[in-house]
């Protein structure tokens, strides 16, 4: 064994996908220990929520997982609805499903694209981002914002679908699966990307469960767990879709099942658009200032990164007494020391990318 070297990656490093700092202990080029140091984007959102009314917290949740803002919006709103006993109109539930599946595509395009960039296939990032731009354009037509939507509100959504939006959405889902096949050949058929991803950072199914991993990270290891199907919420039981699973639990499987999830999301969106009926998009008779009875509520949804939960405690005032976010990105990032050990420094970057962390959500 040679002398140990300590290398500091980040907090500003293009491969950390945000502001993560990783202190890596190296034996030659082999990682013996990798310690992620988080908190560089800690903005105190959970504490801020205690000083906001229930409606004012929604914009804060946008900034948690900024690659998938709709998810945090929805998870928070579900917790509030459970706390206050609000019934959401059916059309609003359908719209929520549609926007969240679109958001899954947008988020996964970022995840797959950055995997491409990490493995030297930057062209794939360009192709993925072109798809993401279409989704962002749809969201802009929907609520005026490209990134921080503030669209899902307690009791429904902020406004109905604009005229012509359904057709635009259908046009997107019609071309998206073929674009994914193209991206699959471009990135996962690339011999260099395969060599960089296959067998790197193998996560066993037992470890995935034991470390609390969820989402594509767990499903890449063959853990058949998707809240949309296994703890059905909203109108998901009405849709027919598959849950893609990996076999080996390496970075290749983790990254590639994201691609098939996008294709499945297109199926869900199409079915939801077919079943969409006119109606209210927000519950009627909601007070301007929500003040739920004292109590607590937890609700979770399947975000692009995994099981995203929000725990709320109410003391009867119009502001939450406590908000806690169960962030999937945080739990998945905790796997990094386990996965990186024994791999080279350049593989560490690929492993970190395949976990697809978003540091707004990790640090909160």
Partner 1 sequence: MAFVDDLGAALDKTPGGGIILTSLDAVMDWSRGKSLWMMPMGTACCAMELIAASFSRFDFDRHGSIPRPDPRHCDVMVVAGTITRKMAPAVQRLYDQMPDPKWVIAMGNCAVSGGIFYYDTYSVVRGVDEFLPVDVYIAGCPPRPESLQDAILRLREQVSTDSIAPGKSRALKSDLPAPGSPRKGEPSTPGGDAG
Question: For the chain, how many residues are written?
Answer: 364
The burial of 189, by beta-carbon neighbours within 10 Å (0-12 exposed, 13-18 middle, 19 or more buried), is given as: exposed
Determine if 9 is a binding residue for partner 1 (CB under 8 A).
Answer: no
Of positions 11, 199, 212, 222, contacts partner 1 by CB under 8 A: 11
Restricting to residues 289-328, which ones interact with partner 1 according to CB under 8 A? Answer: none
- Quick one: tokens of 290? 């929500």
Minimum Å distance from CB 105 to partner 1? 15
User: Smallest gap, in angstroms, from Cβ of residue 314 to partner 1?
Assistant: 19
Of 47, 170, 185, 293, which lies in the binding site for partner 1, with binding defined by CB under 8 A? 47
Partners of 133 in beta bridges: none
Asked if 42 interacts with partner 1 (CB under 8 A), we say: yes
147 scored as a contact of partner 1 (CB under 8 A)? yes
Shortest separation between residue 154's beta carbon and partner 1, angstroms: 19
Q: Which of 133, 167, 206, 224 binds partner 1 (CB under 8 A)?
A: 133
- Element housing 310 (H / E): strand 307-314
Interface with partner 1 by CB under 8 A: which range of 56-64, 153-161, 189-197, 204-212?
Answer: 56-64
Nearest to 101 by CA among 299, 216, 236, 232: 236
| The one among 32, 53, 148, 204 contacting partner 1 by CB under 8 A | 148
Instruction: Tell me the angle at which helices 345-355 and 90-118 cross, rounded to the nearest 10 degrees.
Output: 170
Q: Tell me which stretch binds partner 1 (CB under 8 A): 52-60, 175-183, 274-282, 293-301.
A: 52-60
Q: How far apart are CA 288 and CA 316, in angstroms?
A: 15
Residue in 22, 34, 55, 67 binding partner 1, rule: CB under 8 A: 67
CB of 147 to partner 1, least distance (A): 5
Considering the complex, state which of residue 281 and residue 349 has its C-beta at the smaller distance from partner 1: 349
Residue 146 binds to partner 1 (criterion: CB under 8 A):
yes
Joined tokens for residue 179: 């674009």
Q: How far is the CB of 90 from partner 1 (least distance, A)?
A: 32
Q: Distance between CA 40 and CA 33 in Å, rounded? A: 21
Please spell the DSSP secondary structure of 24-78, one letter per residue. Answer: EEEETTEEEEEEEE--TT---HHHHHTTS-TTTHHHHHHTTSTTSHHHHHHHHHH
Residue 44 CB, shortest distance to partner 1, in Å, is 4
Nearest distance in Å: CB 224, partner 1: 31
The closest of 229, 246, 249 to 238, measured between CA atoms, is 229
8 makes contact with partner 1 (CB under 8 A): no
Phi, psi (deg, nearest 5) at residue 286: -80, 135
Task: Pick between residue 12 and residue 275 the one whose CB is nearest to partner 1.
Answer: 12
Enclosing H/E stretch for 272: helix 251-275
Query: Which of these segments, 43-51, 73-81, 160-168, 346-354, binds partner 1 (CB under 8 A)?
Result: 43-51
DSSP letter string, 138-203: HHHHHHS-SS----EETTEESSPPPTTHHHHHHHHHHHHHHHHHHHIIIIIT-HHHHHHHTTSS--
Binding window for partner 1 (CB under 8 A); candidates: 80-88, 125-133, 184-192, 336-344: 125-133
237-296: contacts with partner 1 (CB under 8 A): none
Total residues interacting with partner 1, rule: CB under 8 A? 35
Distance CA 128, CA 242 (A): 22
Question: Which residues form the interface with partner 1 (CB under 8 A)?
Answer: 11-14, 18-19, 39-45, 47-48, 51-52, 59-60, 63, 66-67, 110, 125-126, 129-130, 132-133, 136, 146-148, 359-360
């Amino acid at each position: 064994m040679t002398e140990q070297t300590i290398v500091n990656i980040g907090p500003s490093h293009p491969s950390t996908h945000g502001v993560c700092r990783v202190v890596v202990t190296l034996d030659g080029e082999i990682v013996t220990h990798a310690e992620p140091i988080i908190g560089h984007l800690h903005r105190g959102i959970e504490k801020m929520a205690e000083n906001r009314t229930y409606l004012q917290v929604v914009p804060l949740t946008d900034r948690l997982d900024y690659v998938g803002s709709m998810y945090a919006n929805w998870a928070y709103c579900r917790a509030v609805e459970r706390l206050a006993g609000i019934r959401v109109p059916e059309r609003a539930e359908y719209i929520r499903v549609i926007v969240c599946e679109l958001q899954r595509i947008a988020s996964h395009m970022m995840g797959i694209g950055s995997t491409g960039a990490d493995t030297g296939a930057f062209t794939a990032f360009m192709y993925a981002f072109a798809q993401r731009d279409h989704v962002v354009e749809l969201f802009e037509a929907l609520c005026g914002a490209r990134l921080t939507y503030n669209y899902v509100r307690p009791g429904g959504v902020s406004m109905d679908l604009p005229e012509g939006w359904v057709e635009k959405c259908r046009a997107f889902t019609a071309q998206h699966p073929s674009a994914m096949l193209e991206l699959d050949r471009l990135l996962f058929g690339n011999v260099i990307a395969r060599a960089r991803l296959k067998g790197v950072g193998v996560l066993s199914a037992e470890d995935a469960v034991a470390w609390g991993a969820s989402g594509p990270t767990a499903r890449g290891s063959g853990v058949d767990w998707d809240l949309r199907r296994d703890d059905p919420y909203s109108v998901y039981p009405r849709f027919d879709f598959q849950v893609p699973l990996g076999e080996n639990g390496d970075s290749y499987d983790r990254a590639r099942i994201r691609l098939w999830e996008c294709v499945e999301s297109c199926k869900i969106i199409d079915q939801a658009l077919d079943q969409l009926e006119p109606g209210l998009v927000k519950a009627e008779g909601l007070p301007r200032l929500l003040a739920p009875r004292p109590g607590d509520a937890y609700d979770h949804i399947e975000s692009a990164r995994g099981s995203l939960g929000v725990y709320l405690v109410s003391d009867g005032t119009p502001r939450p007494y406590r908000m806690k976010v169960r962030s999937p990105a945080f739990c998945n990032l905790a796997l990094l020391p386990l996965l990186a050990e024994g791999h080279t420094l350049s593989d560490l970057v690929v492993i970190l990318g395949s976990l697809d962390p978003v540091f707004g959500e990790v640090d909160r």
